Amino acid sequence: MQRYTLILLLIVPFLTGCGDYSAVMKTADFEYKYEAAKGYYSEGNYKKAAEIFGQVLAVLKDSQYGDECLFMLGMSNYRSGDFEAATKFLKKYYQSYPKGSYVELSRYYCAMSYYNSVVDIRLDQTSTMEALNEFSNFLEYYPETSLKPQTQERIFNLQDKLVEKEYLAAKLYYDLGSYMLNCIYGGSNYEACIVTAQNALKDYPYASPERKEELSIMVLRAKYHLARQSVVDKRLDRFRDAIDEYYAFQNEFPESQYMKEAKSIFNHSERIIAKKGNLDDDDVELDETKKKKGIRGMFRK
């Protein structure tokens, strides 16, 4: 890292003496081109720097400039916003020069390139997973790095993003409720909601407390509604499962804003169990049940 800093501080403003860009591109003096590329980089002309570094890399790769040229090519692309090219060359650097002078920075900025490529949560999250993997590997290789605080912060941000995607998927299943046209192969939306939300809680233990609370209450709601719509043979066991879920929720979130609703689910589930699962004379409707009727009505129209 110190060497990289010195490069940026000691580069001479090369452009004043290297002629115009087209002349630099045409010259056969590759060392001259290389110094010109560093000059462009130091002045913030990252796209020009990337083009020249890319042109001289094949010639210089086996020379004393090879590892530095590859790293600077990756960083030029990173600084210019071409994150796809940046990941390619920075990853190639740490794979080709595992003991190189810039290997720590190449791993970090490779992860940052993926991080800056992360898309909206409604889209494919491959770049998010790649960024998580690169940042995690970076900390494994360099547990005492000075870049640890910002790396950890970005890991948490990425995990929150993945949790949010799973939360929205679980919520969609929950909102669909007993709507069956998307369940033509069996199962139910409530079961899909439960599995999705529980997997999110298991896979992302460092999710924010607020999101964990929302996923947990959604599991409880879904188990309750799944029990209500179940056939008699499964109804009692599913209401008991909802009660068990209530106790788990109460233990983890005793001060939850949803505790009143959770307690209502618990009380109603106990009453149904006391009536051996009989719903015939059941006139109790929780607020969430009323909301879901409205949602199902929209799909019937």
pLDDT category at 295 given cuts 50, 70, 90 is very low
Distances (CA, A) of 164 to 159, 189, 223, 239: 8, 19, 21, 28
Answer for the pair 50, 80: CB distance below 8 angstroms, yes or no.
yes
pLDDT of residue 5: 46
Contact 103, 71 (CB under 8 A): no
CATH number of the domain located at residue range(s) 2-146 in this protein: 1.25.40.10
- Inform me whether the pLDDT recorded for 8 exceeds 50: no
Residue 284 pLDDT:
59
Closest CA to 180 of 235, 229, 145: 229
Q: Does the structure show a pLDDT above 60 at 161?
A: yes
Q: Are the C-beta atoms of residues 45 and 80 closer than 8 Å to each other?
A: no
Point out the least confidently predicted range of 50-59, 104-113, 188-197, 275-284. 275-284
Residue 198 CA to residue 249 CA, distance in Å, equals: 13
Residues 46-65 have pLDDT tens digits of: 999 999 999 999 998 888 88
pLDDT of residue 193 exceeding 80? yes
Residue-level pLDDT at 12: 41
Q: Which CATH superfamily is domain 162-300 in?
A: Tetratricopeptide repeat domain (1.25.40.10)
Please answer whether residues 249 and 220 qualify as being in contact, where contact means their C-beta atoms are separated by less than 8 angstroms.
Answer: yes
pLDDT above 60 for 298: no
Give pTM, 2 decimals. 0.74
Domain boundaries, the chain: 2-146, 162-300
Evaluate if residue 10 carries a pLDDT over 70.
no
**The domains spanning 2-146 and 162-300 adopt the same CATH topology:** yes
Instruction: Count the helix, strand and coil residues of the chain and give each as a percent rounded to the nearest 5.
Output: 75, 0, 25
Cα–Cα distance, 266 to 264 (Å, whole number): 5
**How do residues 98-116 score in pLDDT, each as one tens digit?**
999 999 999 999 999 999 9
For residues 55 and 72, give the distance between their C-alpha atoms in angstroms, rounded to a whole number: 12
Q: Which residues of 251-266 are buried (b: 16+ CB within 10 A; e: fewer)?
A: eebeebebeebbebbb
- pLDDT (average), residues 117-129: 88
pLDDT digits (tens, 9 = 90+) for 64-102: 889 999 999 999 999 999 999 999 999 999 999 999 999
| Average pLDDT over the chain, rounded to an integer | 86
Three-class DSSP category at 142: coil
